[in-house]
Amino acid sequence: MRYYARKTGYFLLTLWAAVTLNFLIPRLQPGDPAEVMVRQLTGRDGEIDPTQIEAVRAMLGYADENVFVAYWKYLQQLAQGDLGVSFTYYPFTVGEVIGQALPWTLGLIGVTQILAFLLGTFLGTYAAWRRNSRFDSFISVGSTFLGNLQSFWIGMIILFVLAYELGWFPAVGGYGYTTPGWNWLFVADVLSHAFLPALTLMVTAPIGFILGMRNTMVQELGGDYIRLAQAAGLPDRKVALGYAARNALLPTVTSFALSLGVLMSGSILVEQLFDYPGMGRLMGEATSNRDFPLMQAILLTTITIVLTASFVVDLLYGVIDPRARKSR
């Protein structure tokens, strides 16, 4: 129980730090966000009404001069689920806008991350088992090469070849002309639109799992318990997969949550490239329109998702490896 209590305390402390930074960073930036928003409405040469600036500043939560009072009100609004009003999609609230985009990103990232974990773990395990072979060299060198490529550049090639040249998949959007609903026609339409963004992410997503699993398992294969199992006459396949791979899998499970943040950051450019209706495209629109409430909410949502995934993995790690619960 002490292990789980400690992990829960770390999670709550980190989440509080993320919420606090999300409150402080926009206030430390030069300029007045309220004035910028009013200037966009009135035009560059238009006259600015101070009352409009005060109204927008109150909407953004900057009306209180005392930062501690503003911080307390900010926490109260978060507890009530009030993230403010989106400037880009006014009069819709930030929560409503994110609620429409978040399922698209979670579906794309979730499926991609799980497939990358399974594929990367399998390829890394087989490469370590067949270490110093042609397959091991090909996987190691190929993973290192692909890991240096940018997902945006990969997406442009995939978009040009599979969408424009061959016409096998739709180029942009989340779905076509089908009516949204829980029917096979709409599901097939959504999957066809999500294939190219998912393929773009899948080119680089398994690399960390491949190299991590391969290197960790090679170290495990040199352990004393492996030599003892081999001396006992156990088959090499059982020793490699039943013993070494099982222990080497533990660090890979931990990296599953850490790589989620990298994958979500990479999906921002990919979703903008394919005009996919997720958080990435929403972040681009919020940034170009200087929609500060929406940018704050997207950043906080992303951090919360990554922290929650890391927290769940930490709890599962204690279940998978009992030594973690007993270590001081």
Per-residue tokens: 153: 């550049």
**Cβ–Cβ < 8 Å for 214, 139:** yes
Return d(Cα 182, Cα 43) in angstroms, integer.
Answer: 44
Name the percent of the chain in helix, strand, coil, to the closest 5: 75, 0, 25
For the chain, count helices (H), then strands (E): 15, 0
Residue 65 has a pLDDT of 62
Residue pLDDT, tens place only, 174-216: 777 777 777 788 888 888 888 888 888 888 888 888 888 888 8
Return d(Cα 94, Cα 101) in angstroms, integer.
Answer: 11
Residue 78 has a pLDDT of 81
Please, what's the b/e burial string for 158-197 (b: 16 or more CB within 10 A of its CB; e: otherwise)? Answer: bbeebbeeeeebbeeebbeeeeeeeeeeeeebbeebbbbb
Residue 35 has a pLDDT of 67
**DSSP letter string, 116-157:** HHHHHHHHHHHHHHTTTSHHHHHHHHHHHHHHTS-HHHHHHH
Using CA of residue 271, residue 276, residue 280, residue 284, what is the dihedral sign?
positive
Per-residue tokens: 286: 């919020």
Residue 117 has a pLDDT of 87
Q: Which of 191, 106, 203 is nearest to 153 (CA)?
A: 203
Which regions in the chain score pLDDT beneath 70? 26-49, 52-53, 56-66, 318-328
Return d(Cα 306, Cα 323) in angstroms, integer.
Answer: 25
Residue 60 has a pLDDT of 61
Number of neighbouring beta carbons within 10 Å of residue 59: 16
> HSE of 46 in the Cβ direction (CA atoms, 13 Å)?
13
Q: Which domains does the chain have, with CATH numbers?
A: 110-290 (1.10.3720)
DSSP character for 48?
A: P
Return d(Cα 268, Cα 283) in angstroms, integer.
Answer: 7
Beta bridge partners of 85: 93
Query: Could you check whether the bond before residue 91 is cis, i.e. omega within 30 degrees of 0?
Result: yes
Task: Dump strand ranges (E) for 20-134.
Answer: none
Per-residue tokens: 170: 């739709």
Number of neighbouring beta carbons within 10 Å of residue 2: 9
SS3 call for 190: helix
pTM comes to 0.75
